[in-house]
Amino acid sequence: MRVSVVGGAGYVGGELVRLLLGHPGVTLAQVSSASHAGRPLFGVHPNLRGFTDRRFAAPGDLEPCDAVIVAHGGDGGGPPLAALRRLAPRLIDCGPRLRLRDPAVFRAIYGSEPEPADLLAEAVYGLPELTRSALAGATLVSGPGCSAVATTLALLPLARAAWPLAAPAVVEARFGSSAAGARPSASAHHPERAGAVRVFAAEGHRHGAEVAQALGWPLDRLSYAGVAVEMVRGIAVSVRCFLQEPVTEGQLWSAFRQAYDGEPFVRIVAQRQGLHRLPDPRWLAGTNLCDVGFALDPSGRRLTLLAALDNLGKGGAGAAVQALNCMEGMPETAGLTFPGLHPL
């Protein structure tokens, strides 16, 4: 199938191009950029030098194809969905404009007007671990937020086990700098970012609403903070949970195995000893993997859930390609089998 990437000059766009060039069931059709039209792709993404001689197309020069993936992240944006849907029968939007089904919640979180209600209702949330059956044959998909993927996958075993919480779950998501996008900003300026551990959302990070929606929880069941750390690719999430009734480590293992047995891209990393006994985003760079783990205090009532992933992989471009595979009935792992590097 022929797939085009809209907004291909950003970090997610470059990762999409890299993955699609190696996908056995996909031909990369066009890659658009309003600011780089006519330039070779490797002029912006130097890792692609020698792998493709394609050039960025102007957004107005996009031609019909089989699927379009919109790579604009952060605050979303890009061409109107109606125009893009005239180009292809299948559309995946990696930005936030389709993630929240409730227009009122979208306005409160993003401070702007949402897409029409019929599009919000039609869009399938692109996290196969939750929506695999709905993705099959879908024509409109919303790519999930990067830290929302990690947080949802950390919490999913607890949610499915229906263990009641005694207090809101406390989420701390630590972000690498690429999560802020490719455009320079004051907060991403090297003298400001280097060595920083900066809390940029002390409470109410926007991905909290997305996680609550995915789990079917009220928003006040989460207290969600975001922290910028000195790392380029990667997100590490820790979730402190306070349970009404104690659980055992055996129950935890059972819950995690029931949630993720057979899942190709979720690994349980919860060992008692060793340097790599808990999830670490460093070893996931370039992959579509999410590592999840846990730690339980002796009372059995205080539980820490952990998750790590590459924000440009399982948290962005990789998630979009995985969703595309599900939509088209292709092997879910197609184009996504890179295992990561060690050491890095």
Report the C-alpha gap between 305 and 158 in whole angstroms.
9
Note whether 293 and 236 are within 8 A (CB).
no
Closest CA to 198 of 179, 211, 184: 179
Q: Where are the beta strands (DSSP E) in the chain?
A: 2-6, 27-32, 67-70, 90-93, 124-125, 140-142, 169-175, 198-201, 222-228, 235-242, 266-268, 290-296, 302-309
| Element (DSSP H or E) covering residue 274 | none
Note whether 109 and 46 are within 8 A (CB).
no
Name the residue type at position 322.
Q
Report the C-alpha gap between 103 and 79 in whole angstroms.
20
Report the C-alpha gap between 6 and 80 in whole angstroms.
11
CB-based contacts of 262: which residues, under 8 Å, 6+ apart? none
Residue of 65, 94, 146, 326 with catalytic role: 146
Note whether 37 and 12 are within 8 A (CB).
no
**Which residues, listed in sequence order, are joined to residue 303 by a DSSP beta bridge?**
241, 296
Q: What is the number of H-type helices and E-type strands within the chain?
A: 10, 13
Instruction: Examine the residue annotation and report whether 146 is marked as an active-site residue of this protein.
Output: yes
Give catalytic residues, as residue numbers: 146
